Amino acid sequence: MANSILETISSEFASTAEKVGSSVVAVHARRWMPSSGIEWTKGVVVTVHHGVQRDEDIKVLLAGGRVVSAKLAGRDPSTDVAVLRIEEGSSGAPQLGDSTSLRLGHLVLALGRTRCGDLVASSGIIGGISGEWRNRRGGQLDQHIRLDLALYPGFSGGPLLNARGEVVGINTRGLGHGRAVTVPVATVNRVVEELLKKGHIARPYLGIAMQPVEVPENMRSKLLTETRAGLLVVHIENGGPAEKAGVLLGDVVFEMGGKPVEHVDAIQDSLATAKIGDVLQVRVIRAGEIKPVSITLGERSR
């Protein structure tokens, strides 16, 4: 009975690898080893940003051994996703799955393609999974999916498959300090859509530099919360959102969106989920008085 189950699982994984493998490519966009990629939709290849080290003379090796030229449509270092366009792709796109159905310990399969065009695979389990994750590059991923499998050199950019043979994300070693993680389908779709539309990811920003300082003793009693620290504005970008809103050098930001801000990370958390055009309600200490400031977020210059 046990042998029968193992044979069934083995056969299904082999069939899955063969089926999805027709969409897996090798991307030659760096000096030595190529990265893997996958034709997400017809003529659109998704791979990893860290594997695309040049913007021109990019070649893609397709499943049948054919090499085609590719143009960089855009890249997002914060999620380690790059998008390429090719004129001659395969006939179909892979079946995408819902990564939120993954559970700790689920069997998964990672695919890649070598420099010579061979399809390669690595199997393992989901080693860790949780909700939204803001990585060290500031990118917001819909899930934090950590893999317990060997992600060999050149595998980054290839797909992760669940037991049903669906693509649930793109694998990379470029986000988790060398650990194998997966950028989930929902994040990839969001990034691909914007890169194809704009060529870059629009990032909201304030246009100020700040550093932590203690709130003066005589001001603490005037604050609604027991705030002991805030962020001193030490630089304001000319023409930036903060300057347009009237923020001044020497202001101490202590509240944003109704929440205390004692560290720069708190600002980054607020911006991670904000959109360009959103209005942030900020409260600052200025010359011993509390002042409300409304900052309309702008798009960071590329």
Distance separating alpha carbons of residues 36 and 25, to the nearest angstrom: 6
Distance separating alpha carbons of residues 264 and 275, to the nearest angstrom: 18
pLDDT at 89: 63
Catalytic status, residue 98? no
Tokens of 274: 């904000």
By CB atoms closer than 10 A (0-12, 13-18, 19+), residue 278 is: middle
Catalytic status, residue 80? yes
Model confidence at 1, pLDDT cuts 50, 70, 90, reads low
**Digit-coded pLDDT (tens) for 42-84:** 899 999 999 999 999 999 999 888 999 999 999 999 899 999 9
Alpha-carbon radius of gyration of the chain: 23
Is 2-198 a CATH 2.40.10.120 domain?
Answer: yes
Q: Which of 23, 35, 80, 144 is catalytic?
A: 80
Distance separating alpha carbons of residues 292 and 233, to the nearest angstrom: 15
Tell me where in the chain the CATH 2.30.42.10 domain(s) lie: 204-299
Q: Which of 35, 90, 99, 156 is catalytic?
A: 156
Distance separating alpha carbons of residues 208 and 286, to the nearest angstrom: 16
Range with the poorest average pLDDT among 15-19, 114-118, 146-150: 15-19
**Digit-coded pLDDT (tens) for 205-259:** 899 999 998 887 767 766 666 677 889 999 999 999 999 999 999 999 988 888 8
Tokens of 42: 């017809």
**Fold held by 204-299:** Pdz3 Domain (2.30.42)
**Digit-coded pLDDT (tens) for 82-116:** 999 998 766 567 899 999 999 999 999 999 999 99
Tell me where in the chain the CATH 2.40.10.120 domain(s) lie: 2-198
**Beta-sheet pairing, 159-161 with 167-176:** antiparallel
Model confidence at 276, pLDDT cuts 50, 70, 90, reads confident
CB count in 10 Å sphere of residue 18: 11
Q: Which of 50, 76, 90, 99 is catalytic?
A: 50
Mean pLDDT of 183-191: 96
